[in-house]
Structures are given as C-alpha cells and as structure tokens.
Amino acid sequence: MSDLAPTTGGAAQTDGDNRYKAVQQKLKTLGQAMDLASNELEALLRSMRTNAQRSEGLAVDIANAELDRKFVEMTNQVSVALGGAAVEVRKLHETAQEVSGLAHDTRRTHARLYEGLDDIRSSRRERTPKPGFFAR
C-alpha cells in the first residue's frame, strides 16, 4: 500500500488578489506544490514497478509449486495491472514536472516584467490609480 495522502496545507488561495507580490506568492506556492507532487509520484512509480515485478515472480513461484492455474492467472493479472498503472503514473509524473517548470518560468517572467513597476508603486507615498483608470 502507498502512504501517499492528499494534503491541504500550503494551497494557493484563489482569490481576486492580483497584486504583484500576491501573484508571485501564488506562483511560488504552485511551483513548490508541483515539485512535491512530482517527487511523490516518482516514489509511487518506483513502488508500483517493484510490486509488478514481485507479482510476476510470485506467479512463477505459484506455477512452480503446481497450485491451481487460476491463482497463477490472477497473480499475472495483478502484475499486468500494476504495470499498466505505472505507465499512467509515469505520464502524470511527467505532467507534474512540466507544470512545475512552467510555474517557475512564469514566476521569473512575471518578475522580469512587473517587479520594477511594483517597486515604483510600492515606494511612493501617493496612491496610484487602479489598473484601467486611464483607459476610460
């Protein structure tokens, strides 16, 4: 059995706060969550592959012990199912890695584009109009 469990801590808030620092924090949290998920999926993948190989070996042992053929077939089916599930976990792992990389890239791009503006807006004493004010 896997000891993976869903976590709720550290989740990015999905509010309407689009200030520079809030967006940076949300992107950082997303990237870290995806890094963690990727690591956990990698461990799950190794475990599933190991269990699939063990099941396959067990099926051979059952056959050599001349037990009923249905037990050999059921054990082989477990091995095949674990192998198939491992393929899907690998795809999910690759997707988690991709999303993690994109989140980190987006955070860097966002910082490059908007950090200077945020510094200017944050350091002045006067209030700055809300975005879209001048578009009216």
Among 27, 45, 4, smallest CA distance to 111 is for 27
Among 57, 90, 98, 104, smallest CA distance to 76 is for 57
pTM: 0.75
Q: Whole-angstrom Cα distance, residue 60 to residue 16?
A: 58
pLDDT of 17 reads 85
| Three-point CA angle 38, 48, 70, nearest 5° | 155
Give the amino acid at 31: G
Measured in residues, the chain has a length of 136
Tens-place pLDDT, residues 2-53: 566 666 555 555 688 888 999 999 999 999 999 999 999 999 999 999 999 9
pLDDT of 124 reads 84
Which structure tokens are listed for 53? 């190989």
What is the band of 126 on the pLDDT scale with cuts at 50, 70, 90?
confident
pLDDT of 65 reads 93
Sign of CA dihedral 96, 99, 105, 110: negative
What is the band of 122 on the pLDDT scale with cuts at 50, 70, 90?
confident
Q: Whole-angstrom Cα distance, residue 65 to residue 60?
A: 9
Q: Whole-angstrom Cα distance, residue 44 to residue 97?
A: 15
Tens-place pLDDT, residues 67-111: 999 999 999 999 999 999 999 999 999 999 999 999 999 999 999
